[in-house]
Amino acid sequence: MVVSHFLKWIYTARVSERAAAASALARAYINSDLPFEDRCAAEAALTLLLDDASSKVRLALAEALSMSHHAPLQIISALASDQPEVAAMVLARSPLLTDADLIDRVAAGHKATQKLIADRPVVSMAVAAAIAEIGEPEACAALLANDGADIASLSFRRMAERHGHIAHLREAMVTDIRLPADCRHMLLVKLGETLKGSPLVMALMGAARAERVTRDACVKASVRLVEGTRTEEHGALIEHLRLRGDLTASFIIRTIAHGKVDFFGSTLVALSQQSEQRVRALLAGGQDVALQALFRSAGLAAPTHAIILRALKIWREVANGKRVAGVQEVSWLMLKELGGQSTEGDLAGLVKSIHLDALRENARGHALAIAAA
């Protein structure tokens, strides 16, 4: 009876009155234990209000129903497709919208809608994957900032591939502890490409030198990246480097010179196709002949074997507490293995550059320690 009067009244009521009445009826529907017939009548009246000419009335419905598990599904669906001001309330909060509903709206490509969905209190892995695959940069940024979003490794990779050239998104991904190591490397490369193409860098250095400097910087950053990479992520990072053509002999030599023995072992496992157990055992205590056979099976050229063995023996002694050494000493002894400072050639040049970088880094650290004292 009340609903009957309500339906007659709304045709003459002012907008503000209709909005207040719509809110009251919606809250009564979701919060009160109405008899079945009254509930059906109220649902019919709420459905009729979807046709109200004023968005204020529909917004009042959205505000009242958006967080309820008991709202009529057809009304939630209609409100989610309403004009942006009304739909935003439902898209951002309604628990009745399924992953399929949300993915369909992400696929529609509206920037504001994608961002609203990315900001929901809980974003499933499937919805996050849709945003990563086709979402605008703003939606991806919102997704990365959302602690309630379940983001798969593959989704991180797609965002890095699609938007890694955008500075604020690149920074958001790099600072996310969930970001896989291979994605971090991808972003390092994209940063290098961005710097290399910068008009200022080109003007100061020229194309050839900018290419060389950024490449060297990426290699050094990649070695540092290994340090923060969990052992279980080594395989993915190695495969990423190999597919890019960055898993070179010079990179491998840099990793062993810097004491990344675990990563070096993972690399040998991937390249030699030998078991992890055997490779670890050889690195821990294998004889030179067996190790050289392992290096050959991994495709490492014979001239590199001696310096790798020298570095490996020093890091073994450090691990066993028999010696204190760092990159500076290890790289110097690797260079001595090649004949010392006067030695020429690409391999000697690489080891010299590692040694000089270590000297500069240690001197910088010493100076900063003196300044801080």
Distance separating alpha carbons of residues 133 and 199, to the nearest angstrom: 31
Q: What is the pLDDT of residues 187-223, one digit of tens each?
A: 877 776 666 566 655 666 666 665 665 666 677 777 7
Q: What is the pLDDT of residues 338-348, one digit of tens each?
A: 887 777 888 99
To the nearest whole percent, how much of the chain has pLDDT over 90? 39
Q: What is the mean pLDDT of residues 36-59?
A: 85
Q: What is the mean pLDDT of residues 149-157?
A: 89
CB-CB contact of 316 with 330 (8 Å): no
In the numeric block, the tokens 């690797």 are attached to 334
Average pLDDT, the chain: 86
Of 57-66, 205-214, 240-249, 261-270, the one with minimum mean pLDDT is 205-214
Distance separating alpha carbons of residues 32 and 26, to the nearest angstrom: 10
In degrees and rounded to multiples of 5, residue 123 shows phi and psi of -120, 120
Both structure tokens of 248:
């070179």
Distance separating alpha carbons of residues 136 and 174, to the nearest angstrom: 19
Q: Residue 227, CB half-sphere, CA atoms under 13 Å: how many? A: 9
To the nearest whole percent, how much of the chain has pLDDT over 70? 90
Q: Is the pLDDT of residue 15 over 70?
A: yes
Q: Is the pLDDT of residue 265 over 90?
A: yes
Residue of 239 and 280 predicted with greater confidence: 280
Q: Is the pLDDT of residue 331 over 70?
A: yes
Both structure tokens of 168:
């604020």
At residue 306, the pLDDT reads 93
At residue 115, the pLDDT reads 94
Give the sign of the dihedral formed by CA 335, CA 340, CA 341, CA 345: negative
Q: Is the pLDDT of residue 145 over 90?
A: yes
At residue 134, the pLDDT reads 92
Q: What angle do CA 120, 81, 162 make, to 5 degrees?
A: 55
At residue 357, the pLDDT reads 86
In degrees and rounded to multiples of 5, residue 149 shows phi and psi of -95, 130
